[in-house]
Structure 1
Amino acid sequence: MAGDDDGSSSVTLVNKLDFGDPLYLHARDTTGTALVSIKLKGTENYSVWSRAMLLTLNTKNKKGFIDGTYELYLGQIFSNNYVIVWQELKETYDKIDGSITFNLHKQINSLTQGGSSVSEYYHKLNTLWKQFDALVKLPKCVCTANADFVKHNNVMKFMQFLMGLDEVYQPIRSNLLMTDPLPNVKTAFAVISREESHRNFSGHTVG
């Protein structure tokens, strides 16, 4: 009877876990399901991979298992193992050198639309920008210099976006460059996207 009580108690305990409990497992939480689509390659994409992993774990209410904030009632040893693995990954791959930054910067400046849609081109470029910003990790401050840097960074992204556009957008690109003050890259993307839609619509109408 004692054994039966223990077994039934364990089952009941698991069944009573609500969605907010870190031990709760959804039907989609299986060992064969990848948490993130990004594959860890090493130092070149560790920053992006770890951010994606943290975001996913946080969404699933499992982040505490790797940052040490949550202790399993089944035993501290399990929690410690996950924390150690996560820390070892960080110590191994969270290393930035000049070559990684150089290669990423080169990808940004060499990326072109190449006949793809404006949205596809912008998405690729925006992803590279986010990776670069995550690698650089500039110090944060509330001084006026920070606002100046943000403004300068936005101008650089605006220029990089325009440089990679197909030549068919040269006239509207010239108009954007003559705007004072210069628009941000999101505004430029919206303008170019409208021009693309207009061209596609005109092409279909003529056809």
Structure 2
Amino acid sequence: MYLHPSDTPGTNLVIEHLVGNENYGVWSRAMLIALRAKNRTSFIDGSCEKPSGISPLLHQWERCNAIVLSWIMNTVSKELFNGIVYSTNAQSVWKDLKERFDKVNGSRIFSIHGEIGSLVQGNMTISVYFTKLRQLWDEYASLVTLPSCGCATSRAYLEHDQQQKLLQFLMGLNESYGGIRSQTLMMNPLPIVGQAYSLISQEESHRGIIA
């Protein structure tokens, strides 16, 4: 329960602020990563229980709990903040937010599919366009439970998922990249989307040098 000098109540661990069920998945994932880096997940999962009133560790536990609680408060909307500001236990607040907002929202999943299907490069650079796609893919993954076993079915699904991402990325490119897009689709086996991004990004850089 050691507190590092950088563990201050005013710290913003993540840039994403929780507003409701529409971004709970992204927010909770970012917070878990940050809390894991700080070695403080035990204060939200209940594994670090509050010591008894006579324990010499009680004061230190209360300090750590207050720090984690402040980190949560720093990353929620003003409306949610007003509802948890009088709370005293980080685990209880985390559990309450999870129960309220950790719901698979069918309308949001539908919306993400639409956003992915309609996203095109337009005036964006390859990097910005790909980053926007990645954000949508990651949000979708946070809302839907995907197979994670090492079985053949899981491997086949992951291969299909990679192929879908590759096609989504290529379809949204400007027509000026039609040539390299066709070359990419003729590769056997097809590259994963990250490799395709690297190839097309290099093409973009090459054009910039020539221009």
Shorter-chain TM-score bucket reads 0.7 to 0.9
> Does the C-alpha gap of structure 1 residues 191 and 119 become closer, same or farther in structure 2, counting only changes over 3 Å?
same
Count of residue pairs brought into register by the alignment: 181
> Is contact 2:147–2:154 with CA below 8 Å preserved after alignment?
no
Deviation at 1:184, TM superposition (A): 0.9
Residue of 159, 165, 174 corresponding to 1:166? 174
What's the counterpart of residue 24 of structure 2?
Answer: 46
Q: Distance in 1 between matches of 2:4 and 2:124?
A: 41
Where do 5+ consecutive residues of structure 1 fail to align?
A: 1-21
Deviations for 1:17-75, whole angstroms, at most 9, x for unmatched residues?
Answer: xxxxx341324x33333221001121111111001101111111222111111235216
Residue of 30, 43, 46 corresponding to 1:68? 46
What's the counterpart of residue 8 of structure 1?
Answer: none
> Does the C-alpha gap of structure 1 residues 154 and 178 become closer, same or farther in structure 2, counting only changes over 3 Å?
same
Is 1:96 paired with 2:101?
no
Q: How does 1:14-29 map to 2 (within 5 A)?
A: 22-27=1-6, 29=7
TM-score in terms of structure 2 length: 0.79
State the percentage of identical aligned residues.
Answer: 46
Instruction: Give the residue type in structure 2 aligned to 1:134.
Output: S
What's the counterpart of residue 152 of structure 2?
Answer: 144
Q: Distance in 1 between matches of 2:134 and 2:126?
A: 12
Deviation at 1:158, TM superposition (A): 0.1
Q: Distance in 2 between matches of 1:175 and 1:140?
A: 32
Deviation at 1:77, TM superposition (A): 9.2
Q: Distance in 1 between matches of 2:164 and 2:173?
A: 15
Residue of 174, 181, 193 corresponding to 2:201? 193
Q: Distance in 1 between matches of 2:123 and 2:25?
A: 30
Deviation at 1:76, TM superposition (A): 11
Deviations for 1:178-200, whole angstroms, at most 9, x for unmatched residues?
Answer: 22221110111011011001100
> Does the C-alpha gap of structure 1 residues 75 and 31 become closer, same or farther in structure 2, counting only changes over 3 Å?
closer
**Deviating 4+ runs (over 6 angstroms):** none
Is 1:33 paired with 2:11?
yes
Instruction: Give the residue type in structure 2 aligned to 1:74.
Output: L
Q: Distance in 2 between matches of 1:62 and 1:141?
A: 28
> Does the C-alpha gap of structure 1 residues 118 and 162 become closer, same or farther in structure 2, counting only changes over 3 Å?
same
Q: Distance in 2 between matches of 1:30 and 1:77?
A: 15
Two-structure CA RMSD over aligned residues (Å): 1.9
TM-score in terms of structure 1 length: 0.81
Q: Distance in 1 between matches of 2:103 and 2:118?
A: 24
> Does the C-alpha gap of structure 1 residues 77 and 201 become closer, same or farther in structure 2, counting only changes over 3 Å?
closer
SS in 2 for 1:38: coil
Instruction: Give the residue type in structure 1 aligned to 2:58.
Output: L
> Is contact 2:184–2:196 with CA below 8 Å preserved after alignment?
yes
SS in 1 for 2:202: helix
Q: Distance in 2 between matches of 1:115 and 1:197?
A: 15
